[in-house]
């Protein structure tokens, strides 16, 4: 069987949305550096992401919007009306030097993944996961929607039935918009209740194609293990997909600054292991949210390790410690006194408690009763 493939690019190194923006921190470059420092990323498994051309982006995004992104990058300013029409030039979706090239590179990687997976396999594109992007506007830090483009690419290459599993702390409103009512797409989203964009309520069935599980603040590994075993894995198995797209947002871990969940990275990794064990012939893993440079870098490097059968609990080699020691988190209290284990191991201590939240049990039971065939 072909080894998993990692799609990355140097454009992410040093690219920032701005000094005060949550996406000022390095993420994908850290995962590339740390994976290499661990000895897990040989050149034979690394693919430099292509930049998607406008025609490829127009598979879902409007030509007018894509052209506006290119114009705004070239001019580094917005025109009157751009904020209202395209959602660009706001606090959340600012103008920055690579405003077209960076998201187009992430999208190019996800589109390529659809081609690479035509005959089966595993592809990891940690720069992907921009699940809020809309056809004609930026939304929630997302200028393009690479998960949608990845799924359309899979369809273009003959892969029809797709399970999309999203455990980012924020609901995947852009993906939901794209695939609402699609009988060959199962969308499972586990996200923090009440967190922006405040969509994906329990009763929202996405035209019959979605299972939305809003979870309360403080969700622990024990709660997520219950969600995994009682909802995610059995529903994906019941759906019997040709491919799984797993969006592994890292903002649900306890030390992320934008969400309020209490997960360790073990919760994410255990869901990944469970999805792998289902034996679905195609798996695409994407990144997503995550705004603490240490927690996102360690979690996503561990994803790559698990895809390759590595021991993610092993002691960190000196080269890996140097990658992590070089990170900074300006403007956040977590950057002033990071805990020692962020530098010595990828693996967090489990965030478990004595029981499962009654709210989680009730909501899982409600969703588990629905058929997804």
Give pLDDT tens digits along the chain (373 positions).
699 999 999 999 999 999 999 999 999 999 999 999 999 999 999 999 999 999 999 999 999 999 999 999 999 999 999 999 999 999 999 999 999 999 999 999 999 999 999 999 999 999 999 999 999 999 999 999 999 999 999 999 999 999 999 999 999 999 999 999 999 999 999 999 999 999 999 999 999 989 999 999 999 999 999 999 999 999 999 999 999 999 999 999 999 999 999 999 999 999 999 999 999 999 999 999 999 999 999 999 999 999 999 999 999 999 999 999 999 998 888 888 899 999 999 999 999 887 899 999 999 999 999 999 7
Q: What is the pTM of this model?
A: 0.98
Question: Angle at which helices 318-325 and 28-37 pack, to 10 degrees?
Answer: 160
pLDDT value at residue 333: 85
Tell me the C-alpha distance between 45 and 133, whole Å.
Answer: 29
- Positive or negative torsion for Cα 15, 7, 62, 165: negative
Domains belonging to the chain, first-starting first, are 5-368 (3.40.800.20)
Conformation bin of residue 279: beta by default, left when phi > 0, alpha when psi is -120 to 50: left
DSSP state of 47: E
Measured CA to CA, the distance from residue 282 to residue 305 in angstroms comes to: 18
User: How far apart are the C-alpha atoms of 204 and 198, rounded to whole Å?
Assistant: 12
Put the strands of the sheet holding 5-8 in their side by side order: 46-48, 5-8, 121-125, 282-286, 243-247, 162-166, 185-192, 210-215
> Which residues are part of the catalytic machinery?
132
Q: What are the φ and ψ backbone dihedral angles of 145, each rounded to 5 degrees?
A: -115, 90
pLDDT value of position 337:
86
Q: What is the secondary structure of 333-369 as a DSSP string?
A: GGGTS--THHHHBSPPPP---SS--HHHHHHHHHHHT
Q: Residue 373 and residue 360: Cα distance in Å, rounded?
A: 23
């Amino acid at each position: 069987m072909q080894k998993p493939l990692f799609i990355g690019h140097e454009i992410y190194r040093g690219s920032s949305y701005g000094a005060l923006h949550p996406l000022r921190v390095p993420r994908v470059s850290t995962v590339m550096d740390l994976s290499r420092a661990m000895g897990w990323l040989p050149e034979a498994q690394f693919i430099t992401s292509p930049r998607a051309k406008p025609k490829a982006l127009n598979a879902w995004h409007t030509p007018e919007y894509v052209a506006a992104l290119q114009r705004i990058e070239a001019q580094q300013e917005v025109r009157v009306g751009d904020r209202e029409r395209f959602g660009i030039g706001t606090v959340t979706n600012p103008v920055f030097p690579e405003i077209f090239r960076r998201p187009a590179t992430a999208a190019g990687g996800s589109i390529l993944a659809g081609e690479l997976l035509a005959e089966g396999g595993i592809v990891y594109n940690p720069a992907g996961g921009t699940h809020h992007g809309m056809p004609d506007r930026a939304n929630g830090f997302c200028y393009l929607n690479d998960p949608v483009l990845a799924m359309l690419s899979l369809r273009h290459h003959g892969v029809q039935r797709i399970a999309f599993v999203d455990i980012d702390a924020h609901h995947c409103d852009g993906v939901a918009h794209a695939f609402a009512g699609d009988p060959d797409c199962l969308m499972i989203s586990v996200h923090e209740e009440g967190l922006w964009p405040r969509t994906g309520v329990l009763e929202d069935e996405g035209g019959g194609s979605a299972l939305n599980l809003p979870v309360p603040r403080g969700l622990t590994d024990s709660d997520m293990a219950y969600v995994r075993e009682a909802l995610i894995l059995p529903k994906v198995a019941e759906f019997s997909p040709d491919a799984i797209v797993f969006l592994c947002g890292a903002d649900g871990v306890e030390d992320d600054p934008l969400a309020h969940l209490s997960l360790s990275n073990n919760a994410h990794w255990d869901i990944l292991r469970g999805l792998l064990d289902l034996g679905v012939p195609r798996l695409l893993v994407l990144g997503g949210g995550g705004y603490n440079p240490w927690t996102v870098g360690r979690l996503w490097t561990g994803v790559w390790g698990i895809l390759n059968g590595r021991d993610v609990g092993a002691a960190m080699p000196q080269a890996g410690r140097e990658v992590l020691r070089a990170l900074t988190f300006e403007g956040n209290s977590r950057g002033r006194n990071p805990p020692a284990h962020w530098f010595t191991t990828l693996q967090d201590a489990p965030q478990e408690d004595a029981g499962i939240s009654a709210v989680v049990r009730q909501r899982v039971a409600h969703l588990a009763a629905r058929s997804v065939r």
